[in-house]
Amino acid sequence: MSDQLQQVINKQNNALVGDENKIDDVVQLVGFIVGEEEFAIPILSIQEIIKPISCTRVPQTPTYILGVFNLRGSVIPLIDLRARFDLKTQKHTEETRFIVMKSGDDVAGFVIDRLTEAIRMPKRDIGPAPETVSEAETMIDGVGKQSDRIVTILKVHKLLERNF
């Protein structure tokens, strides 16, 4: 009995150690859908995900900036990713979410169509961004391949960069 127990414990320990070894080459992402495509951003760049709340339009801004909203006392800009990606905008649905992303001191909320899942992806499965887009301009960090689909990984700092 005690031998068996010991074995089990050892096995668990090994598994844990194995995990730690692996953790370096695994990135944790959160996947979401905008339009037809699935995108993902690193989980650590997400401050929070909230259901849609009302926002206030800000004049003299590009159309993809929906305005500002109140997140527990902070005024945060809201950006429609559909419009940002030049897709046709649509009304909010039950599944629409705001992802509040941060990079350094910059914070903004992004409207996405729906969340998919948290993804653990080995680094080796992530390929570079397609070469057709210029390195400096692209918002794409890389392309993650999974068994049945691919996700586009976005550069959060690029999304949060003011470009008007």
Q: Using the rule CB under 8 A, which residue among 68, 81, 99, 100 binds another protein?
A: 68
Alpha-carbon span 151 to 127, nearest angstrom: 10
Nearest distance from C-beta of residue 151 to another protein, angstroms: 25
Q: Using the rule CB under 8 A, which residue among 26, 49, 76, 140 binds another protein?
A: 76
DSSP code for 161: S
* Nearest residue to 160 via CA among 64, 59, 79, 53: 79
Nearest distance from C-beta of residue 135 to another protein, angstroms: 23
Nearest distance from C-beta of residue 33 to another protein, angstroms: 20
Q: Show the tokens assigned to 68.
A: 């500002």
Backbone angles phi, psi at 123, to 5 degrees: -60, -30
Backbone angles phi, psi at 21, to 5 degrees: -65, -35
65 part of the interface to another protein, by CB under 8 A: yes
Q: Which residues bind another protein (CB under 8 A)?
A: 54-61, 65, 67-70, 72-77, 91-92, 105-108, 160, 162
